[in-house]
Amino acid sequence: MSPKAPAGFTLAELLMAMALFGLMMAAMAGIQAMASRTQAQQVSDTLVEGAATLAREAVGRALAGASCVSTPSAGAASDKLTAWENVDPENGSSPLVPGEDRAFSHLCMDGGSSLHLYSGGYPMPLIACGAEVSGVEHVLVAGGANLAVSARFYRPPDSANVVLVDYTVETAGAAPIGRPARVTHRAQFTLQHAK
């Protein structure tokens, strides 16, 4: 009887198997990295779209019951919007319906990165955008550490009851993965309760 060769793999076979395994792992890592970048981009896009929707809805709520807009004036543009409920647009102070409360909604930009909404009763106190004001409801609508928001409000000179809003929402700073997300919209609102 002849002696049998020991069972097992040769060094060449082991090296070839390890090389193939390494190539497969490198391909899997590349696929995983691409999937992570795609997911991060989708999360960023969703965050920006959500903030843009919040901004549009906040403007819509501010103007929903408005009888007049004091800022910006007709024919002007501003980074602030002040709308009044139950306030006579002729003089900017008298109630349209005597005995009913007068109220304001004030949207403003703080340093160009966040959109804030203030609301309260007549008269409107002095508001430093981004700061809390006693007796006034304050909400950060959009913006913050990861998002930059810019909004511009415009009232055409021939349409006192129309407010145009141009707003942009984008990821703030350098995007660590993928491209920066950015949304730009223009919306038009018409005061329904104007005199």
pLDDT tens, position by position, 29-46: 989 988 888 887 787 888
Q: How do strand 137-143 and strand 182-190 relate by DSSP bridges?
A: unpaired
For residue 87, give the DSSP letter.
B
pLDDT at position 127, please?
Answer: 96
pLDDT band at 1 (very low <50, low <70, confident <90, very high): low
CA dihedral angle for residue 132, residue 149, residue 190, residue 154, rounded to 10 degrees:
100
Q: Where do the domains of the chain lie?
A: 33-190
Is residue 173 over pLDDT 70? no
The residue with tokens 């990165």 is 113
Instruction: Please tell me which residue, 195 or 4, carries the higher pLDDT value.
Output: 4
Burial group, residue 3, by CB count within 10 angstroms (0-12, 13-18, 19+):
exposed
Average pLDDT (117-123) is 95
Is residue 193 over pLDDT 90? no
Burial group, residue 123, by CB count within 10 angstroms (0-12, 13-18, 19+):
exposed
pLDDT at position 116, please?
Answer: 95
pTM: 0.79
User: How high does pLDDT run on average in the chain?
Assistant: 87
Distance CA 113, CA 167 (A): 11
pLDDT at position 177, please?
Answer: 58
Count how many residues are written for the chain.
Answer: 195
At 7-28, the pLDDT tens digits run 788 999 899 999 999 999 999 9
Distance CA 15, CA 20 (A): 9
Cβ atoms of 187 and 105 within 8 Å: the answer is no
| Token output for 118 | 């203030």
pLDDT band at 80 (very low <50, low <70, confident <90, very high): very high
DSSP 146-186: SEEEEEEEE--TT-TTEEEEEEEEEE-S--SSSSPPEEEEE
Assign 121 to helix, strand or coil.
strand
Instruction: Please tell me which residue, 174 or 169, carries the higher pLDDT value.
Output: 169
